Structure 1
Amino acid sequence: MMNLWILNEFLYFPDNKSEYIPAAIELAIILILCILVFNFFRKKARKDLEKTRELEEKILKEKQSSSNQH
């Protein structure tokens, strides 16, 4: 019985539904920001992967050329 009373203190459902508008706007803004940040990290990871592959190929070519000289 005590647990229900505690939960009721934190739950608030307004009778006036226009009070939901600021929360919906904030949720939409945060969702858009999350999507933008997620896409930024995906693009950054893709670029870093390409740089790593290029560096790896360069190192392998140098190893092959140095082993061919001996």
Structure 2
Amino acid sequence: MMEFLYFPEDKSKYIPAVISLIVFVIGAIITMYLIKRASKKEEARWEKEYQMEKKEDNS
């Protein structure tokens, strides 16, 4: 009936799939952390630049 679905009787065949899933999830978490950190740095730099421009305009 559903021949395209394959569930092995030997559950040890799931181990490589679980390991690769964990590796990709950890990679995604690290990537999101790095993106957020870079974004915060960029925001701080932009705020500092904006404050300097604002002070120059007021002078």
Q: Same fold (TM over 0.5)?
A: yes
Aligned: 1:25 with 2:31: no
TM-score w.r.t. structure 1 length? 0.79
Runs of 4 or more, structure 1, over 6 Å off, are none
Report the structure, 1 or 2, having the larger helix content. 1
TM-score w.r.t. structure 2 length? 0.93
Structure 1: gaps spanning 5 or more residues: 66-70
Please name the residue that 1:64 is paired with. Answer: 58
Higher Rg: 1
Superposed displacement of residue 53, structure 1: 0.3
Superposed displacement of residue 8, structure 1: 3.6
Please name the residue that 2:30 is paired with. Answer: 36
Structure 2: gaps spanning 5 or more residues: none
Aligned AA for 2:48? E
Correspondence for 1:46 among 21, 40, 43: 40
Aligned length, in residue pairs:
59
Superposed displacement of residue 12, structure 1: 1.2
RMSD: 1.1
